[in-house]
Structure 1
């Protein structure tokens, strides 16, 4: 057994941390590093900012947030979910506006941690989250298709979509110009990722497809193609500096304050959604949602100090971390160290990466976010309203912008609850009966009771059987159903006994049927 020193204990490593655990964390950290590098670069490209900003956010997300995270196995960094809003910030205010916006957004997230608001984000409808991510995916694909043709993305999502047909019509099969060469690199990158994901050998399952796609694109470009590559300064760290007085004066602008609020809300919702997904993937550690919110606040505040990109907890990197066998937060921290070492000692490698290859990576990433089957699943499980929320959030995100899409989705979510407000009465009560831990749900349980419901579900014991009784339940919204279903699934996956019993009310029968 390794001797656990006090500094190591402050990293939050498990008490029984041994040499085998250390080997697993180091190996997992390298896998996550290989996943993170192309995504940091690609998301910076999609956001319209220099590549080094994405790398710096990856470093801070690994080292600083890794130390403070409430979900030790979650990995933070630049995320596709914020690429769209960063692009709009740069178009409206310039890159220099990122510093004050992130300083304020980080402070808001830290305030959210202090006031224990983390659990309230779990009350955001899954239809809103899925629709938001799908809308982001459409916007990323629509924008990066133009980069595949050696063109620049338009400033608005609908403009990008409208211009796609002409981009294809302008391609010539008779001459191989710059657009055609960039398209070749992008197609090779996309094909490599898709084929690898489908046919990769079991013993190489941890090799990230994004890295393989970028390597394939680089090899094709090296065969003599004239394609644009990443513009990287000789000293990446020279691009960063503390905010100036002029930068901070932007905090007096209402638009900057409103944008910071939007970044804080969207980054927090995406982070805690990712953390909940990590909880579903494994049973080793559970998320402390308020602490995770505070860790993200620290990360975004530090990104604001150096003018980097905003960050969130990222499901792609987090799932790679879990699948690679990470045991503790040391894996996330080390992945940030590897990125730091890479940009410090091998910056020249980045200069050979074609922008079309990164665009190809983002097309695949964006396409994976567009899960239209989610709308069908929501309809089958919960009826027409969640499916409408999904479609409305997706459509408004693409047609207007991300924040309006989220607000429309949240507004529609309230339609499920508003008819029951006048008679709102609910009770979430824990009891014990014959060695079984029981959770009684009575009255009308909805997203408005998310704090009480999530606290009760989080307090369910890991040992012994549990029973959720719904005989007195008269109404339950789809958000609460999903929270309860996740808790029961997690208990059953760990080998425990969990059952949901109900009465004859439609709400009770619907919950029992959804949980199974």
Structure 2
């Protein structure tokens, strides 16, 4: 019997029903968010639009079914668009499957070796700098697509050519119409967040693309539409000749870049999603293996690489998802959409998808974080900015390596703190106490302080509070001691052995 004022526990069947209904509703929301993003990423990557849906389907049915992160949603991501486009242009569409398959196998291996948790040790400044660089390149490239114009080959050329591109847009009525449609799409995406809550139940990307489809119908053939090939025709499994390219150095570098960026983005996304809900926490090694399994399947199908996507994951949590069933179901809806109504893709203007990705590119640039780091941690803001600029000017893989190297150097500089205190008793030798960590990074200042000591006084050096002394500092101390001893009656004495 239930006590007065208490609430009777819901029967297990009723609880399961509520959970299923919550997951079902969330899966529809995620599906509606995923469709324009999957198609847009594919078009921007230079591959058939259907391949973006294939990757989204695998992200739901394969990665979504596996353990790791319960509410995180995977699919094609804007963060890899630039790298995929470069890989397709350099190696061809047929080689994409090999690149993605090898990426998946590497992720599976890293997960089995429990490397997943070590991605949490990567400097946040490097990751945000990577995303900012990707965002800048993505914006620059998609602005040309919004106008229906050919983009220059390199990232720097794209950015440098933007003024000329705007002049071409003004001079061409067709380009101006297409560009205006893209700007309208961006405006809808920005303004939709200010609409009443009851309207915002419909995802902004769906509204923006839907309005663009209506506008495109009125504008007619002056606006380019997405080319449709059919789901089965777009799938191109890699052949034996494609696997032979694994011996090429450029292919191996691209696979490493895919692996590093996809893994880091997925695991950092998982950490962000964990802050949005109170459910089970992410198991990082299992999540890395789930991402690897998904990429392996995508590689076999010749599709785009997948990562966890924070936009879809946040939509999943905010829509009330309870279990991983929501992300699996979103993959089912994507499969039904791609199989039953593929012609609907041909109604979407390319300029609208470019606008969606320009908006996504701006969201990749952490402006608030850059301002905060500039006020509080100038060194971290330098690492972030340098990583982004290196990606824009040199390339994705090289830019990430530059960021990692700068992060290591900054950490070494911050931890290399050596203090020198001099005690003069008035008579007898000077006492020099060294404390902290003496590394080559602080050697110039340390030698300046030692050489400023009086040359006619004996010195005793106390190293008791020195936590670390690297080889360069040890050799320099010995050389200084020999020189100083030659100027005095008594040699320099060390209270501890060097």
Band the TM-score falls in, shorter-chain normalisation:
0.7 to 0.9
Ranges in structure 2 where 5+ consecutive residues have no aligned partner: 1-9, 418-435, 438-466, 469-498
Q: Is the 8 A contact 1:76 1:314 kept in 2?
A: yes
Paired positions, count: 412
TM-score (norm 2): 0.79
Partner of residue 205, structure 1: 200
How far apart in 2 are the matches of 1:206 and 1:415?
Answer: 47
Q: Pick from 87, 90, 115 the counterpart of residue 88 of structure 2.
A: 90
Please list, as runs of the form range in 1=range in 2, the aligned pairs for 1:162-177 lying within 5 A after superposition: 162-172=160-170, 177=173
**Can you list the C-alpha shifts for 1:344-370, whole angstroms capped at 9, x where unaligned?**
111111111010010011111111111
**Can you list the C-alpha shifts for 1:69-88, whole angstroms capped at 9, x where unaligned?**
41010000000111011011
How far apart in 1 are the matches of 2:20 and 2:273?
Answer: 20
Question: Larger C-alpha radius of gyration, 1 or 2?
Answer: 2
1:341 pairs with 2:336: yes
Q: Pick from 43, 56, 62 the counterpart of residue 60 of structure 2.
A: 62
**Can you list the C-alpha shifts for 1:113-162, whole angstroms capped at 9, x where unaligned?**
10000010001111111111111111111001001111133221111111
Q: Pick from 390, 393, 396 the counterpart of residue 402 of structure 1.
A: 396
TM-score (norm 1): 0.76
- State the shift of 1:422 in Å: 8.4
**Change over 3 Å in CA distance of 1:70–1:417 after alignment to 2:** same
How far apart in 2 are the matches of 1:85 and 1:364?
Answer: 18
- State the shift of 1:282 in Å: 1.1
- State the shift of 1:286 in Å: 0.4
Q: Is the 8 A contact 1:188 1:216 kept in 2?
A: no
How far apart in 1 are the matches of 2:24 and 2:179?
Answer: 37
Please list, as runs of the form range in 1=range in 2, the aligned pairs for 1:322-401 lying within 5 A after superposition: 322-381=317-376, 383-401=377-395
How far apart in 2 are the matches of 1:95 and 1:295?
Answer: 25
Please list, as runs of the form range in 1=range in 2, the aligned pairs for 1:110-149 lying within 5 A after superposition: 110-149=108-147
> What is the DSSP-based 3-state SS (H/G/I as helix, E as strand, rest coil) of the residue aligned with 1:204?
coil
Q: Is the 8 A contact 1:2 1:19 kept in 2?
A: no
C-alpha RMSD of matched pairs (Å): 2.2
**Change over 3 Å in CA distance of 1:420–1:167 after alignment to 2:** closer
1:155 pairs with 2:169: no
Q: Is the 8 A contact 1:206 1:320 kept in 2?
A: no
How far apart in 2 are the matches of 1:419 and 1:345?
Answer: 59
- State the shift of 1:320 in Å: 0.5
How far apart in 1 are the matches of 2:71 and 2:152?
Answer: 37
Partner of residue 271, structure 2: 276
How far apart in 1 are the matches of 2:298 and 2:63?
Answer: 11
Partner of residue 321, structure 1: 316
> What is the DSSP-based 3-state SS (H/G/I as helix, E as strand, rest coil) of the residue aligned with 1:308?
coil
How far apart in 2 are the matches of 1:242 and 1:221?
Answer: 34
- State the shift of 1:313 in Å: 0.4
Partner of residue 410, structure 2: 416
Q: Pick from 179, 182, 185 the counterpart of residue 186 of structure 1.
A: 182
> What is the DSSP-based 3-state SS (H/G/I as helix, E as strand, rest coil) of the residue aligned with 2:149?
coil
Between stretches 289-298 and 179-188, larger displacement belongs to: 179-188
How far apart in 2 are the matches of 1:93 and 1:294?
Answer: 27
